[in-house]
Amino acid sequence: MTKFEIPGNVAVSDSGFLFMPTTGETFTMNEMGIFIFKMLQQKYTRNEIFEKALDEFDIDKTTFEKDFEDFIAQLKNYSLIKIS
């Protein structure tokens, strides 16, 4: 099973503003990004995130899967997530 780890020092606001205090970098996320990121912080599994997102948002599974993988790749690119 894939495990996602968000650094503990990363802060995210309800409006989608994400701040990484170690580097001073800031990012903004849309509603879906906020939803996914907060679930990752709470250590939800990929399947749990998919299930809740498909219930919460008007999106089909194929589209969400692509968007999720793209978002995870972006987080990884900016060192905002570790995957094991």
The secondary element (H helix, E strand) that includes residue 82 is strand 82-83
Quick check: is 83 in a domain? no
CB count in 10 Å sphere of residue 17: 13
Residue 31 lies in a domain: yes
User: Number of C-alpha atoms within 13 angstroms, CB side, residue 10?
Assistant: 23
- Examine residue 28 and state whether it is found in any structural domain, yes or no: yes
22: nearest Cα among 76, 70, 78, 71: 78
Beta bridge partners of 11: 19
Residue 15: what pLDDT? 93
What percent of the chain has pLDDT above 70?
100
Q: Return the pLDDT at 27.
A: 95
| Domain assignment present for 84 | no
Asked if 61 and 54 touch (Cβ cutoff 8 Å), the reply is yes
**What is the percentage of the chain residues whose pLDDT exceeds 90?**
80
Mean pLDDT (whole number) for 14-18: 92
Report pTM: 0.90
pLDDT score of 84 more than 90: no
Average pLDDT over residues 43-57: 95
Total domains in the chain come to 1
In a domain, 61, yes or no: yes
Q: Residue 23 in 3-state DSSP?
A: coil
> Is residue 11 predicted with pLDDT exceeding 90?
no
Q: What is the mean pLDDT of residues 36-62?
A: 95
Domain holding 68, by residue range, is: 4-78
